[in-house]
A and B are shown apart, each in its own frame.
Chain A
């Protein structure tokens, strides 16, 4: 199944919009769509492409994805809001996910989350630090309970994090 860039793929607005799906990226999406019998099935992969390219998924991004896949913006938004890993607003340069579900919770996960908040200056869960470098959130089970507490920093899955290891971890990411 192929997709083509079309003038109407660019969502209208008062400012110019820089499309995500053009050139090589559009080709990449075309390859992905060939795996499924419907264009709609390309939605989750398309949203990941947008987030990787832009850091988050804006309303205009959603409108573009809708155009490219033959869906409506409202439908796309319904999917974006369902899945917790898609960002609907800009986040810090580094995005930290700390698991605090029970198996990690009994191994001190909440202290790890607190340590990240303090060390990064983000202060509050979900907020971005004043220097724009960090956003820290608590998440549900990351599937590494025997390696408590696991933490995702961007795409890096780090095991066995304890509060004392946090300062060094934070330093590693500039």
Chain B
């Protein structure tokens, strides 16, 4: 969507209230809008009290894993024996997802305020905001906002630093992110130990996503009960979510709706539906690492953690990728496999070999040299790539492959049987 953006009447505007408002990203503008009041208040509260409020709110991680935020914070040692750290995951690289970018370039102070409150709650002296290297524009606005807010001394004793990534999707994985900050290759670590026990520099650490932290000031301001109440269906999912809708819709962009919102309405109503003459064929509801839904599943899917699982996928990052009937599902699944093959850190054999092999098989199929046995081979590979590696990049490659073969088998068979012309050269 273009800016200035007028929210759709069915959106519930909390995080995106000031998207498109250039004044809001200045320190003065943010303060004028009530900014940093909650931080000032939080700094006078007991850290445990802040954690309780966030626990009560039901806020779950918005990066993709959906782990209860208050619970994650409570894993940090109550007794302060070592330096504590907060790492902010601004590595947003999940295909289909582009919400954190908007938060950083339009409401950088919301992220800074939420981060500082979180740091206070987990007794962290230092915050590292890990921003992917390609986000040059968000970096500029974050840098500016950080300088202004620091000059106004709103953060108390908390030190906030920006740390620039250099091109690695895997650094969005929390342990790889910590390794990257430490100046290492972005290889994920085996867990346990968990970050709260031994994280960045071996110290107790919490890692939170940008959108998660941006929700903290509103939760403190309007209360946990308010946030919990912003849910259409399940009490297990509260609040709003920024859904990044892209692909074959009339009006792609970020849309903020309450948990439990029907995916059908998001696509057909808020996003203006399909392009002229087209019908919806497939939809990935939560970023490319979750299973692909077919049309029936898409049109009956409710957007909360349980609702999407019920349809056979996951809410994930909320990156909604819409494919209409013009899309070549085999080609796009190949392209996703290639993404994972490029991004594999190469530690685990199943991932390093599996993502590359999966890509090769799909390329062969698209080049007209596929065999029916290839589909069984892909499923076999995917099974070995799931649940058996240090991190879930491997599983993430398997998700579109397995769900794609299950729901769009005919498209694979068309290439293999020669009913469809090859689109690649072997």
Neighbouring A residues of B98 by C-beta, 8 Å:
143-147
Neighbouring A residues of B201 by C-beta, 8 Å:
36-38, 41
Neighbouring A residues of B180 by C-beta, 8 Å:
44
Neighbouring A residues of B248 by C-beta, 8 Å:
106-107
Residue of A71, A78, A79 ringed by the most chain B CB atoms within 10 A: A79
Q: Are B166 and A101 in contact (CB under 8 A)?
A: no
Neighbouring B residues of A148 by C-beta, 8 Å:
246, 252
Neighbouring A residues of B288 by C-beta, 8 Å:
101-103, 141
CA A47 to CA B165, docked complex, whole Å: 11
Residue in B100, B164, B331 whose CB lies within 8 Å of A45: B164
Q: Are A83 and B166 in contact (CB under 8 A)?
A: yes
Counting chain B residues whose Cβ lies within 8 A of the other chain, the interface size class is: 35 or more
B1 lies within 8 A of chain A by Cβ: yes
**A23-81 interface (Cβ within 8 A of B):** 35-38, 40-45, 47-48, 69, 71, 78-79
B407 lies within 8 A of chain A by Cβ: no
Q: Are B95 and A146 in contact (CB under 8 A)?
A: no
Residue in A79, A106, A142 whose CB lies within 8 Å of B327: A106
Neighbouring B residues of A156 by C-beta, 8 Å:
136
B253 lies within 8 A of chain A by Cβ: yes
Neighbouring B residues of A105 by C-beta, 8 Å:
331-332, 335
A155 lies within 8 A of chain B by Cβ: yes
Q: Are A145 and B339 in contact (CB under 8 A)?
A: no
Instruction: Flag B319-350 by CB within 8 Å of A: 1 or 0 each.
Output: 10101000100011001100100110100000
Instruction: Flag B281-302 by CB within 8 Å of A: 1 or 0 each.
Output: 0000000100000000000000
Residue of B95, B161, B332 ringed by the most chain A CB atoms within 10 A: B95
Residue in A41, A82, A85, A106 whose CB lies within 8 Å of B247: A106
**B184-218 interface (Cβ within 8 A of A):** 184-186, 201
Residue in A43, A84, A106, A144 whose CB lies within 8 Å of B183: A43
A97 lies within 8 A of chain B by Cβ: yes
Q: Are B93 and A83 in contact (CB under 8 A)?
A: no
Q: Are A38 and B183 in contact (CB under 8 A)?
A: yes
Question: Nearest Cβ distance between residue A169 and chain B, in whole angstroms?
Answer: 16
Question: Nearest Cβ distance between residue B281 and chain A, in whole angstroms?
Answer: 11
Instruction: Flag A78-114 by CB within 8 Å of B: 1 or 0 each.
Output: 1100111110000000000100111101110000000
Q: Are A102 and B134 in contact (CB under 8 A)?
A: no
CA A36 to CA B202, docked complex, whole Å: 13
Q: What's the count of A-B pairs with C-beta under 8 Å? A: 146
A152 lies within 8 A of chain B by Cβ: yes
Q: Are B93 and A141 in contact (CB under 8 A)?
A: yes
Residue in B163, B182, B186 whose CB lies within 8 Å of A83: B186
Q: Are A40 and B182 in contact (CB under 8 A)?
A: yes
Neighbouring B residues of A97 by C-beta, 8 Å:
134
Neighbouring A residues of B244 by C-beta, 8 Å:
145-146
Q: Are A146 and B327 in contact (CB under 8 A)?
A: no
Neighbouring A residues of B323 by C-beta, 8 Å:
106
Q: Are B335 and A100 in contact (CB under 8 A)?
A: yes
* A101-B339 contact in complex given A44-B183, A79-B185, A140-B93, C-beta closer than 8 Å: yes
Q: Are A157 and B247 in contact (CB under 8 A)?
A: no
Report, nearest first, the 5 A-B pairs whose CB atoms are least far apart.
A43-B183, A84-B167, A83-B166, A85-B167, A145-B246
Question: Nearest Cβ distance between residue B289 and chain A, in whole angstroms?
Answer: 11
Residue in A35, A83, A84, A146 whose CB lies within 8 Å of B159: A35
**A130-158 interface (Cβ within 8 A of B):** 139-148, 152, 155-157
Nearest residue in A to B185 (C-beta to C-beta)?
A82
CA A140 to CA B133, docked complex, whole Å: 13
Q: Are A102 and B332 in contact (CB under 8 A)?
A: yes
Q: Are B134 and A143 in contact (CB under 8 A)?
A: yes
Q: Are B182 and A152 in contact (CB under 8 A)?
A: no
Q: Are B166 and A85 in contact (CB under 8 A)?
A: yes
B245 lies within 8 A of chain A by Cβ: yes
Residue in B83, B95, B137, B166 whose CB lies within 8 Å of A47: B166
Residue in A47, A48, A84, A152 whose CB lies within 8 Å of B168: A84
B399 lies within 8 A of chain A by Cβ: no
B181 lies within 8 A of chain A by Cβ: yes
Q: Are A41 and B183 in contact (CB under 8 A)?
A: yes
Question: Nearest Cβ distance between residue A43 and chain B, in whole angstroms?
Answer: 3
* A157-B183 contact in complex given A48-B164, A102-B336, A145-B96, C-beta closer than 8 Å: no
Nearest residue in A to B254 (C-beta to C-beta)?
A146
Nearest residue in B to A79 (C-beta to C-beta)?
B185
* A101-B186 contact in complex given A143-B98, A144-B98, A146-B246, C-beta closer than 8 Å: no
Question: Nearest Cβ distance between residue B247 and chain A, in whole angstroms?
Answer: 5
Q: List 10 A-B contacts (CB under 8 A).
A: A78-B185, A85-B134, A101-B95, A103-B288, A106-B327, A140-B342, A143-B135, A146-B245, A147-B98, A148-B246
Neighbouring B residues of A139 by C-beta, 8 Å:
134, 167
Q: Are B336 and A40 in contact (CB under 8 A)?
A: no
